[in-house]
Amino acid sequence: MSINRDSQDTRMTRRSLLKGVGALGIMTAVGRLLPSYVLAGTTMAKAGSPSELQGKTIDLRISKSPVQIGELTGIAKTINGTLPGPLIRLKEGDNVTLNVTNRLMEDTSIHWHGLLLPPDMDGVPGVSFGGIKPASTFSYRYPIRQSGTYWYHSHSGFQEQSGVYGPLIIDPIEPEPVHYDRDYVVVLSDWTFESPESVFANLKKQSDYYNFQKRAAPEFFSDVSRMGLGPALQNYLMWDRMRMDPTDFADVTGYTYTYLMNGLAPDQNWTGLFRPGERVRLRFIAATAMTFYDVRLPGLTMTVVQADGQNVQPVAVDEFRIGPAETYDVIVQPTEERAYTIFAETMDRSGYARGTLAPRTGMTAPLPDRRPRPLRTMAAMGMHMDGMDMADMKNLNHHEETPLNNQELNGSQRHAKEHMHDKHDMSDLPPGESRHSMIPGSTPVRHAPGHHGTGNQSVAEFSRQQLDEPGIGLTDTGTRVLVYTDLKSLAPYPDQREPGREIEVHLTGHMERYMWSFDGKKYSEAKEPIFFRHGERLRFTFVNDTMMEHPLHLHGMWMHLENGAGAFLPRKHTVIVKPAERVSVAITADAPGRWAFHCHLLFHMEAGMFRVVEVSAEEPTGRS
Amino acid sequence: MRKFFRCILSLMIISLLIWDFNSSVIFSQSIPDELMSTHKHKSHPQTIQPEGQTDTRSGVFREMSDTGSPVSQKADWPSPVMDEENHGFFLADVLEYRPNIGGDGSHDDYRWDIEGWYGGDYNRIWFKSEGQRDTAFKADYDIDSQLLFGRFIQQYYDFQAGGRIETQSYRGRNVTRGLAVIGLQGLVPYNYELQPAIFMSQHGDLSARLTATKDLSLTQRLILQPRFETNAAIQRVRKFTTGSGLNNLELGFRLRYEIRREFAPYVGISLDKSFGDTASLVREEGGNPSQIRFVVGVRLWF
C-alpha cells in the first residue's frame, strides 16, 4: 500500500496540530479501535497510520473486531479493524484499484456511495455482481470522475448496521472553490449491541418495539387540560381509528442505539481542534442505518458549501437535517477561544451524537437543551385539506392522478403511462425557463383510486412538494434551518434539457406489519427493472404514501433535484421524501447497466423497498 | 345432516387452501428469473459482465450482447435484499394464576392463552392454545389447540383456516373432539385486536368465539389491557358443557409492566360468567357460573 502524502495546506495543518497535544485518557484506551482521522486531536494519530488511505491502490479487509462504544465493548464488523472504516482519500482523474478482502464467515460487498462508476463495480450483490465470498478478494477498478465528500459501505445484509462503513473523500483536480484552514470528517452513525437481525425481527413482531415516546396517560391529561376534553379525546380517537401512531418518527431509537460521531459515543466527545479565526470545514456524513440527524453548532453559523459531494452556492444556516446516506460539507469560523458543541440530535429526539470543536483537547461546551419529540399531524400526512387555502382547492381538479398511475405498471402499461405524461405534464412548463423553474408537485395532487394492495397501510390523499419546509420538528426553531430549495449548484450542469417523460413511483409500506415497498410491491414481487432509455433525460417522481420520511438513493446516476433552482438544480445521490410529499428529480440516463434504487433506511431496504433500474441503449437518443 | 355439513366444511377449507396457494404464487413471487432474463435479452442488451472479463482500468466497460452468459451467472447471485425471509413469533398473552379467594367450590385456577406464527409477510402458519381450569365455564380442565394457515388480507387481517382439538377433563373423565376452524385476526379501527372464529366439530356442532383486546398506555411501560372473550354455540353439547346460545364471557383488566417489551408481569381482575343453558350445566357439574377473580401472571413473547 502506498501512501503518498502531498503537502496540501489542510494536511499540513492537521499534522502540525498533532504536536504538543496531550492525549485524552479515554482516547488512549480506545485508540487501537478507531481510525486515525478520528483522533485528530490526540497523539494517537500518526502520519502513515493505516486509518487514512491514499493513492491509487487501496487494500481493505473486512472482519469482525471488538470495538469500544462508550464504556462497553461490542463486536463489530469492521473495515481494516476500525469503526468507522479508514478514510479513503482519492484524487479526481485517477484510475484506482480497491482490493476488498473478506475475512468474515459470510458474503460481503462494498458499495461506493455516490460514485459514478461502471455497473459491475458498484458493489451491490445480486445487481452488480455476485458478492465477495468468504476468504476471497474482489478488486474494484474504476476511474474517478468526480470530487467531493462521499462514503462507502457494505451492501450485504445488515453489515452496514454492524459497522462496515467509512468516509471517502475525492480531492478535485481544480482548486477547491472554498477556502478553509482545517478539514474534518464527521461521520454520524448509529450503533446497537443487539444483532441487527434481532432488531429487524423485533420490528417484524412488534413494529413499535423501540418507541418509548408514545402518547401515554400523562400526555393525554396534559392535552386535556390544554385543549379541553372533547378535542383531546377526538384527536386521540382519530389516530386510534386510523390505527396509526403520531409519535412514529424512528423505527429504531435511542432505546437500543448509541449515537456515534466518528465512532465515539456522546460522552467520549470527539474533538476537532481550531485556532480562533480559522475557517473549519466539517464534512458531515450520515453513515446511519436508520437515523435522521438534526445538526447544529450552537454559537456558530454553518455555511453549507457542498451537498452529497457536489458544490453548492454557499448558504448560511443554523441547523440542517441530514438523512441516512446524505452528506453536507459546511464551513464554520469560530472566532472565540472557547469550545463549541457539535450537536446532532436524532429526528425522533430519543438521543443525540455529540462532539466538540475546541482550541485545545479536553474542553467541552454546554449541551443545548433537548427538544421534545414532535407529533405528526393528519394534515402533514396528506389526510386532511385543512391546511390548504381555497386557491389550492380550486386547482385540485386539474391535478388528479389518473388511475393508471396506481396500477401495477409493467411492460406496455408502463409505456402507456409514460407516453401519457409525455403529452400532458411537460406542456405545463413554460419554455425557455432558465433562472427559476416551477417545482413539480407545487399544486397538491389527489391520489388516484386504489391503495396499492394489502401491503400498504394508507395513501396520501393529497401529495405536494414540500422542498421549502425543513421537516417535522424543525419548523418552530426560530433559527435558519436548511431546506432543499436552498440548494443551488455552484455552476450549472451540462445537461439542461427538460425531462422528456416522467416515471412516478409511490413509496408504500405497512408500519404495523413492518412491510416496506414501492407501489405496494416488495422487490421480490417486482423484480422487473424500471427502464431508463440510455441518453434520455427523464423525470423520476417520488410520492410518499407512508407516514415516515424516506431517503431514496439511486445508484450510478445523479438525481438533479427539481427544487426550482432553474439552471442550478443541485445534484444528489440521496433525496429525503417527507410524508405525503411529492418530489421530482431529473435524471440524465447516461450510465448503461443495472443499478439499485432503494430507500436508504437499511431495514426498509431489506424489507423490500428496493428496485433495479436498468439503463439500456434500446432506443439511443442524442446526448447533450 | 352432520355428514353434509362436514362435507361442505372440508370442501370450503380445501378450496381456501388452494385459492391461497394460487394467490401466493401471484402475490409473492414474480416471473422466474430465467423468463425475465430471456425477455430482457430480447428487448435490450445486457450490460452486466461476467466476472473475470472485467477491464475497467481505462474507464471503458464493454456492453455485453446477447451472446454473454449473464443469465447463468445471475442465477447464482444472491437476492439484493432479504424481503422473503420468514420469521417466527410466540406470544403468551395470558399466562396466569387465579388464587382461590373463597366461595363455594372455589379452586386455585390457572389459565393460558398463547399463540404463535411462522412465515413471511403474507402467508403464515399459526398455532394457538388456550387452556384453563376455570370453574365459571367448564367445571374442570379445558385445553384446546389450533393449527391454522393464515393469509394476510385487506391490510389488517389474517384470514385463518385449519383445525382445532379440544380436550376437557372433569370428574376423572376425558373427552376430546376435533373441530374445523375459520377465523380472522387483526387490528380493527380504534386499535382493537380482534379475533372472531367459527368452529364446526367432527359431529357437525357449530360454535363461535370472539376475542378482543386493547392496549392502553398508562406510561411507556405500564400498560392496561382490557380483554373480552365470549363463546356461543348453536347446538347443546352436554359432554362439553356447552349450552345452546351464548355460553359465557370473560371480561378482564390486566395491568402489566413491560420490564422488557418481551417480558411483562401483570396483575388483574377477571369477570367470568356463564349464561343460560351453559350456566345450568356448569352448576350441575359443581362449578360457579359467575365469578370475579384476581389474577397474577406474566405476558411474554419471543
Residue of B nearest to A145 (CA): B59
Strands B109-119 and A165-171: unpaired
Lowest-confidence segment of A11-25, A485-499, A553-567, B276-290 by average pLDDT: A11-25
By the 8 A CB rule, do B134 and B107 touch?
no
Lowest-confidence segment of A185-194, A202-211, A240-249 by average pLDDT: A240-249
Q: Least CB-CB distance to A454: which of B76, B79, B154?
A: B154
By the 8 A CB rule, do B110 and B128 touch?
no
Query: What is the least distance, in Å, from the CA of A67 to any CA of chain B?
Result: 26
Q: Which of A233, A454, A621 to mutate to test the interface with B (most CBs of B within 10 A)?
A: A454
Mean pLDDT for A87-108 is 97
Supply the pLDDT for residue A624. 34
Whether B26 and chain A come into contact, CB under 8 Å, resolves to: no
Residue of A nearest to B116 (CA): A205
Supply the pLDDT for residue A402. 42
- Residue B31 sits at φ, ψ, to 5 deg, of -60, 135
Query: What is the least distance, in Å, from the CA of B181 to any CA of chain A?
Result: 23
Contact A130 B77 (CB under 8 A): yes
Whether residue A390 has pLDDT greater than 60: no
Mean pLDDT for A110-115 is 98
| Distances in whole angstroms, Cα of residue B107 to Cα of each of A517, B103, B133 | 53, 9, 9
Nearest to B186 by CA among B145, B250, B102, B126: B126
Supply the pLDDT for residue A121. 97
Which SS3 state, helix, strand or coil, does residue A245 take? coil
Residue of A259 and B174 predicted with greater confidence = A259
Query: What is the least distance, in Å, from the CA of B50 to any CA of chain A?
Result: 9
> Rounded distance, CA A160 to CA A592, Å?
27
How would you list the strands of the sheet with A111-113, edge to edge? A52-54, A87-91, A165-171, A148-153, A111-113
Residue range A591-605, pLDDT digits in tens? 999 999 999 999 999
Query: How sure is the predictor about A453, in pLDDT bands with cuts at 50, 70 and 90?
Result: very high
Whether residue A183 has pLDDT greater than 70: yes
Strands A502-510 and A537-544: parallel
Supply the pLDDT for residue A388. 42
Whether residue A619 has pLDDT greater than 90: no
B-chain residues near A242 (CB < 8 A): 189
Whether B82 and chain A come into contact, CB under 8 Å, resolves to: yes
Mean pLDDT for A73-87 is 95
Supply the pLDDT for residue A34. 64
> Rounded distance, CA A452 to CA A517, Å?
10
> Rounded distance, CA B96 to CA A97, Å?
63
By the 8 A CB rule, do B228 and B187 touch?
no
Q: Least CB-CB distance to B82: which of A214, A531, A606?
A: A606
Please report the residues numbered 555 through 574 in chain A whose beta carbons come closer than 8 angstroms to any beta carbon of chain B.
none
Mean pLDDT for A99-106 is 97
Which SS3 state, helix, strand or coil, does residue A303 take? strand
Q: Least CB-CB distance to A512: which of B40, B80, B187?
A: B187
Supply the pLDDT for residue B282. 85
Supply the pLDDT for residue B256. 98
Mean pLDDT for A297-305 is 97
B-chain residues near A451 (CB < 8 A): 155
Nearest to B271 by CA among B222, B233, B225, B227: B227
Whether B156 and chain A come into contact, CB under 8 Å, resolves to: yes
Q: DSSP characters for chain B?
A: -HHHHHHHHHHHHHHHHHHHHHHHHHHH--S-HHHHHHHHHHHS------TT----TTS--PPP-TTS-HHHHHHTSPPSS-TT--EEEEEEEEEEEE---SSTT---EEEEEEEEEEE-SSEEEEEEEEEEE-TTTSSSEEEEEEEEEEEEETTTEEEEEEEEEEEEEETTEEEEEEEEEEEEEEEETTTEEEEEEEEEETT--EEEEEEEE--EESSSSEEEEEEEEEEEESS-BGGGTB-SEEEEEEEEEEEEE-SBTTEEEEEEEEEEEE-HHHHHHHHHTT--SEEEEEEEEEEEE-
Please report the residues numbered 214 through 253 in chain B whose beta carbons come closer than 8 angstroms to any beta carbon of chain A.
216-221
Whether A197 and chain B come into contact, CB under 8 Å, resolves to: no
A-chain residues near B30 (CB < 8 A): 524-528
Q: Which of A111, A237, A527, A613 to mutate to test the interface with B (most CBs of B within 10 A)?
A: A527
Residue of A19 and B278 predicted with greater confidence = B278
Contact A454 B47 (CB under 8 A): no
Cell 448496521, located at residue: A161
> Rounded distance, CA A455 to CA A461, Å?
17
pLDDT string in tens for chain B (302-residue length)? 455 445 444 544 444 444 443 333 333 333 333 333 333 333 333 333 333 333 333 333 333 333 333 333 477 899 999 999 999 999 999 999 998 766 555 678 899 999 999 999 999 999 999 998 877 777 678 899 999 999 999 899 999 999 999 998 877 778 999 999 999 999 999 999 999 999 999 999 999 999 999 999 999 999 999 999 999 999 999 888 889 999 999 999 999 999 999 999 999 999 999 999 999 988 887 778 888 999 999 999 99
Which SS3 state, helix, strand or coil, does residue A66 take? strand
Residue of B nearest to A144 (CA): B59
